[in-house]
Amino acid sequence: MRFLMIWLAACVLTSTAMAANSPTLERVKKNGYLRCGVNEGLIGFASPDAKGNWTGFDVDFCRGLAAVIFNDPNKVRYTPTSAKVRFTVLQSGEVDLLSRNTTWTMSRDVQLGLEFIAVSYYDGQGFMVPKKLKVTGAKQLNGATVCTNTGTTTELNLADYFRANNLKYKIIAFEKNNEVLAAYDAGRCDAYTTDASGLYAEKLKLKNPNDHLILPEIISKEPLGPAVNHGDQQWADLVRWTLFALVNAEELGVTSKNVDQMLKSPNPEIRRLLGVEGAFGEGLGLTKDWVVRLVKRVGNYGEIFERNVGQGSQLKIKRGLNALWNKGGVMYAPPVR
Amino acid sequence: MSWWRTRRTQDLLFQAALLGGVVLLIGGMAWNAAGALERQNIASGFGFLDNTAGFDVVQTLVPYDETSTYGRVLIVGLLNTLLVAILGIVLTTLLGFVIGIGQLSSNWLVAKLCRAYVETLRNIPLLLQLFFWYFAVLRALPIPRDSWNIFGAFFLNNRGLYVPGPVTEPGFGLVVLAIALGTMGSLLLSWQARRRREAQGVITPVALQSLALIFVPALVISAVVGFPLHFTWPVLEGFNFEGGIVVLPELMALVIALSTYTASYIAEIVRAGIQGVAKGQIEASQALGLKRSPILRLVLVPQAMRQIIPPLTSQYLNLTKNSSLAVAIAYPDLVSVFAGTTLNQTGQAIEIIAITMGIYLTLSLLTSSAMNWYNARIALTER
């Protein structure tokens, strides 16, 4: 009985001991590295290069956080997660955040004990078809067999779209991206559906990328963004404002190349962002020059976008919705003040 | 010696303590998990089974559409798993026995080929074989427009094997009833024949009579009600064939991979079972003047079966459990649609995994008890 009491007490203590400050930030600092859940391999978003280094849009966000916390973007340990296990990996505390093209939906936000931080990439679901099918629009896909991933919003959107348009279809759902692609390449299905960004990335892996066409229709809203566990608001704030800082830096013209000159800028907004005026970073448990570290190491939002998925990459995705709000997109970050 | 110091009491106490420890550990884990879920505001419970699923499943043995519930998804997935398990068990048993007996063949080539089969198949991981069959099948088959056409009724392409689908009309129930009654009658007949053989040693042939009893009344009734069954034919429409029944390439690949892989183990079990029968038994029956076929049927097989059944049961269990690899090639089994898609849509990981584990456990225990029953029936009865 005594043993049981001690054991119960130990359980209660360990669960309540970390309440002050941000327990996640404390843990990250103690570990000496950030644990980041990423995609298993999606070119442009998260994939290991020939030397085994992770690169991509989602990876750069993790690197940015590491730069903010440690002033070293390499202090990250990546956990590749499949669509199926990603939430469990986060919930069980195996990673400090999920930065893995994950759609922010109400049920995920409310029922899974997660907190979606903000939108880092506005995406939508599209279709890829072989050109030889001579299909030019999604409405011509009546009776088609469609390949996709299991355990994603994609399956639901697909069902909704075909139902709404009174079209027949068959769904073949695989667990891993590679198998979806292999089956599509082998002609098992007429169309491949996933988020448009994913289509551009996966298309590059096909035997003859030029024989395939991405249809113009976008059939769903897929706001992708990082997620953390519920219950550590300060950690959520830190992650959220790191993303906002990246967007604000782009809006204010602060880049990895000019950040040192920008410290001398007379513009009060830039001075606040870079910590020359005010001490906004200290509220996050950091130093006030946190954005200088961030932008110097990984660049601003626009630089990250272009380098990984935009014109500087193989994917050549246009900014579209992801352009800044004053440049025709919807990327809009609250101000630092 | 006082009673609490006896060996028996101490043993009991020790076992009670161990049991208590196990209960405490499991209870503690459950309590901890429930607490963690509550702290993180993760919804729990089984209410989600009544929610609308909203996604489609490519192969359903019961009516299902996007408006069905997650509970329905569970049933659909379970039936798909059962389908693979049953097809796989039947095929693997046939193949395993053929290869197993083949290994003992006096024909050098046959024996070596069977040996090579066993050594190759059981030494390559099942998942790789599954991918091999799936992608080999897919690559080998033509696109729908160039389907291989068999008698204008069967079409084979990389979307599956399309066969005419039966559609029943009113009156079909009567035919089924006639077949059922006929089957019962024929069972009665063979039981009588057996009793007669055991009592009087007279062998009464009943095969023809049984067949007649099953099919003649059924044929007569279907003629009377006007053959209450017709077929829908698969027809190429747009991308794919419509109508008829489709056997998915995923199902084909999964059944082939599971049954060929498991057959390599069963072949070894069968070989060991046959070789395990004492040589003297065969020599004795030869001495009695029995011919080759009755020796096999009456002496060798019954004794070999006793050694084959228990390990065969575990192979059946393995096959059923291995069918959960289906998710790798998009066959919509229980793990794929329930422990996969449903888990992801609802996030109820603990409940869903518990249900799934419970189902596999139940399936395995059922298979196991059926096989044990059969084993007890054929076991050596000592008089």
Cβ contacts (< 8 Å) between B139 and chain A: which residues?
Answer: 186
Claim to verify: residue A163 and residue A89 sit in the same structural domain: no
| Minimum Cα–Cα distance from A156: chain B residue | B55
Per DSSP, which regions of chain B are E strands? 148-150, 154-157, 160-163, 165-168, 229-232, 235-237, 240-242, 245-247
The tokens of B147 are what?
Answer: 């389907």
In a domain, A4, yes or no: no
Produce one character per residue of B282-293: b if its CB has 16 or more CB atoms within 10 Å, e if not.
beebeeeebeee
Domain tally for chain A?
2
> A211 and A292 in one domain?
no
Burial of B190 from C-beta contacts in 10 A (0-12 / 13-18 / 19+): middle
Angle at A182 between CA A177 and CA A188, to 5 degrees: 115
Residue A77 lies in a domain: yes
A103 touches B: beta carbon within 8 Å: no
Question: Do B328 and A182 count as a contact with CB atoms less than 8 A apart?
Answer: no
ipTM of the complex: 0.74
Q: What is the pLDDT of residue B108?
A: 94
Do the domain assignments include residue A330? no
* Nearest beta carbon to residue A83 from set B39, B55, B344: B344
Q: Within this chain, do residues A215 and A184 fall inside the same structural domain, yes or no?
A: yes
Which one, of B118, B231, B218, lies nearest residue B175 by Cα?
B218
In this prediction, residue A112 carries a pLDDT of: 84
Where does a domain end: A160, A195, A220? A220
Whether B136 contacts chain A with CB within 8 A: no
**Beta-carbon separation of B336 and A173 below 8 A:** yes
B190 CB within 8 Å of a chain A CB: no
Q: Are residues A149 and A69 in the same domain?
A: no
CA distance A182 to A202: 11
Do A118 and A243 belong to one domain?
yes
Of A84, A143, A182, the CB nearest to B239: A143
Question: What residues of B are in contact with residue A169 (Cβ under 8 Å)?
Answer: 56
Looking at the complex, report in whole angstroms how far the Cα of residue B325 sits from the nearest Cα belonging to chain A: 11
Looking at the fold, whether A240 and A204 belong to one and the same domain comes out as: no
A100, A146, A150, A174: best to mutate for the B interface, most B CBs within 10 A: A150
B249: nearest CA partner in chain A: A188
Total CB pairs under 8 A between chain A and B: 127
Could you name the CATH architecture of B70-145+248-378?
Orthogonal Bundle (1.10)
B-chain residues within 8 Å CB-CB of A164?
none
Contact A171 B57 (CB under 8 A): yes
Q: Is B56 on the interface with A (CB under 8 A)?
A: yes
pLDDT tens, residue by residue, B196-222: 888 888 877 888 888 888 888 888 888
Domain end: A205, A220, A235, which one? A220
Residues A79 and A142 grouped into a single domain: no
Mean pLDDT per 10-residue section of chain A, whose length is 337 residues:
50 42 92 94 90 94 96 94 87 93 88 91 94 90 89 85 90 87 90 91 89 91 93 93 96 95 94 92 91 95 95 90 94 93
* B28 touching chain A per CB within 8 A: yes
Which residue from A minimizes the CA distance to B333?
A: A173
* Domain boundary pick from A220, A241, A263: A220
Task: Answer whether residue A12 is part of any domain.
Answer: no
| Tokens, residue B75 | 């049933």
Report the DSSP beta bridge partners of residue B161: B156, B247
CB-nearest partner of A112 from B24, B249, B347: B347
A159 contact B CB<8A: yes
DSSP assignment of B190-220, as one string? HHHHHHHHHHH------HHHHHHHHHHHHHH
Which pLDDT belongs to residue B216?
Answer: 86
CA–CA distance from B209 to each of B204, B214, B218 (Å)?
11, 9, 14
Q: How far is A162 from chain B (nearest CA, A)?
A: 10
Give me the residue from B58, B139, B340 closest to A151, CB to CB: B340
pLDDT value at position A20? 45
Same domain flag for A112 and A153: no
Strand A144-149 and strand A191-195: the pairing is parallel
The residue range of the domain holding A290 is 20-122+224-323
Q: Are residues A178 and A33 both part of a single domain?
A: no
- Does this model's pTM top 0.80? My answer is no
Is the CB of A155 less than 8 angstroms away from the CB of B56? yes
What are the φ/ψ torsions at residue B190 (nearest 5 degrees)?
-70, -30
Where do the H-state alpha helices sit in chain A?
2-16, 23-31, 57-70, 86-91, 106-111, 153-164, 177-185, 196-203, 233-251, 259-262, 268-273, 290-298, 301-308
Structural domain contains residue A208 = yes
- B 242-261: CB under 8 A from A: 242, 249-250
Q: Are residues A117 and A148 in the same domain?
A: no
Label the pairing between strands A144-149 and A54-55: unpaired
Query: Is A309 a domain residue?
Result: yes
Alpha carbon distance B302, B172 (integer Å): 40
Cβ of A188 under 8 Å from any chain B Cβ? yes
Find the CATH number of the domain harbouring A184: 3.40.190.10
Q: Could you tell me the residue ranges of all domains in chain B?
A: 70-145+248-378
- Spell out which residues of chain A touch residue B332, defining contact as CB-CB under 8 Å: 173
Residues of chain B with confidence (pLDDT) below 50:
none
Same structural domain, A118 and A231: yes
How close is the nearest chain A Cα to the Cα of B76, in Å? 15
Residue A41 in any domain: the answer is: yes
Instruction: Answer whether B66 touches A (CB < 8 Å).
Output: yes
The reply to whether residue A111 touches residue B42, judged by beta carbons under 8 angstroms, is yes
CA angle A215, A221, A224 (to 5 degrees): 105
Nearest 10 degrees: Cα torsion A52, A55, A59, A64: 110
